[in-house]
Amino acid sequence: MASLIFAFFLATRLYSNSIKELGEEQLIESGKRIIMMIQKAPEAQSAASLDEVTSNIVLIPVFKVKIVDEQGASVKYGSEIDPKAQFSITPAQYGHVIKGGIYRGTLQMNQDDKHGPETTLIGLPFEFRDHPYALFISPELNDLLDVFRRVMLTVLLSVLAMGSLLILLASRFIVKPLQRLTRATKRMAQGDFGIKLQTKRKDEIGALTASFNEMAKSLRMLDQMRSDFVNNVAHEFQSPLTSITGFSKALRTKQMDEAGRQHYLTIIEEESQRLARLSANLLRLSVLQQDQGPVHPVYYRLDEQIRRIIIASEPQWSVREIEFELELEDLTIHGDKDSLDQVWHNLISNSIKFSQDASCIEITLKQVGEMAVITVRDHGKGIPPEEQQRIFTPFYKVDQSRDYAVKGNGLGLSIVKRIVDLHHGEITVSSVPDVETVFTVRLPLHADGHVS
């Protein structure tokens, strides 16, 4: 409503001068035609009969017309039946026109109201039978303005009503999906992440709904991961605690020889160490997830580090008659030595753990561009294709039965991947079940990951 009213007054102000000039030109043309009709009156009519000559000529519905002689006396009004249609001419006005000038001025539309609205007044000189006269003409705007006001008011109200209806429909079209989003957000705040809003819109509201669905999906996945993580932690802690509790009770209540007692104590010690390893790995993974890059990067020989870890693991592989085939280039890398030490330890330990007895583990190290590429290949059970993308998830084990004869808690590869990510590297796995498994690690030679 405010914009319509503002536009109305602005347009009126901008175009009032143009309309006034156009109206004056039309009045002058109309006045000239009236004068031409008077001057073409038959010669038989005398000058004294000007009133008769103009009796029909000046009766024009849309104009006020007044003819004044050189003494200032009115000869004819254009609308004698309506006294309000008459208007007064001052001596200065008709004097200027009688002398041959054209008068352009204004006239009070209501003669009794000196501060009321004004209309245009045009005065034109002419001669009739050798006598000068002044013809004053003004538009009869009262009725026209009333009609104009009604039309404008009707247009204004129609536009207002139609605009209000369209705004109401548009607001419902916009607000309704926003209300759905608000309700869905409240449900999500209460922990309901299984929400999915349907929409076919392609505008900003549609994009917002799609983003909300993506957020809900991500939160749903995070909630599932959190739940799985808690369940896995509880499961991993429950088994050794159960063993420790059971064997402790057995030691306290049962009569047994020294060999049996030592056996139970050995189991309790192994389960305690298992709990300690699990706690340490959880703490390590938590710290790594908060880090943004290598903590203490230094330059060191990567090939020597890998050889040292293989030698340190000799008790594990020598008893199973596993051999190593090494192809290591002399390569210096800039990275966190302690963290990468854990990467190679975990990868080599897994290869030994899952390799067949009397098999061979092949490890290669070479430089490709500004990257160090390390591959660890073993020959054992392998990893099924559907499991290969999930082995880096915390607590995930390919052996779903959780055979504790094979020690491990499913955190090693997740720690490895996080360390490699912090070094701006990449780790991938490829495997053929019952044939081989190959882990490939690509690390930049510089800890910041930039290629020189």
Q: Domains of the chain by range and CATH?
A: 2-139 (3.30.450.20), 204-273 (1.10.287), 293-444 (3.30.565.10)
Parallel/antiparallel/unpaired status of strands 436-444 and 371-378: antiparallel
* Sequence-distant (≥ 6) Cβ neighbours of residue 237 within 8 angstroms: 275, 278
> Which pLDDT tens digits describe the chain residue by residue (452 residues)?
777 777 767 766 666 666 667 667 777 888 888 788 777 766 555 444 566 556 555 555 567 788 888 887 877 655 443 444 456 778 888 888 888 888 888 776 555 556 556 777 888 898 877 788 888 888 765 555 566 667 777 877 888 888 888 888 877 777 888 888 888 888 888 888 888 888 888 888 888 888 888 888 888 877 776 776 677 667 667 777 888 888 888 888 777 788 888 888 888 888 888 777 777 767 766 766 666 556 678 999 999 999 999 998 888 898 999 999 999 999 999 998 888 988 998 899 889 988 999 999 999 999 999 999 999 999 988 888 878 777 877 666 655 444 444 455 567 788 888 889 888 899 999 998 888 999 999 999 876 544 33
The confidence score (pLDDT) of residue 402 equals 40
Q: Which two tokens stand for residue 226?
A: 């959190």
The confidence score (pLDDT) of residue 88 equals 75
Q: Which two tokens stand for residue 278?
A: 């699990």
Q: Which two tokens stand for residue 212?
A: 């909300």
The confidence score (pLDDT) of residue 329 equals 93
The confidence score (pLDDT) of residue 371 equals 93
Distances (CA, A) of 22 to 61, 62, 218, 361, 446: 19, 16, 69, 102, 83
In this structure, are residues 380 and 359 in contact, taking their beta carbons and an 8 Å threshold? yes
Q: Taking the model in full, what pTM does it have?
A: 0.48
The confidence score (pLDDT) of residue 1 equals 72
In this structure, are residues 118 and 109 in contact, taking their beta carbons and an 8 Å threshold? yes
132-169 burial: b if 16+ Cβ within 10 Å, else e: ebbbbbbbbbbeeeeeeeeeeeeeeeeeeeeeeeeeee
For residues 122 and 138, give the distance between their C-alpha atoms in angstroms, rounded to a whole number.
6
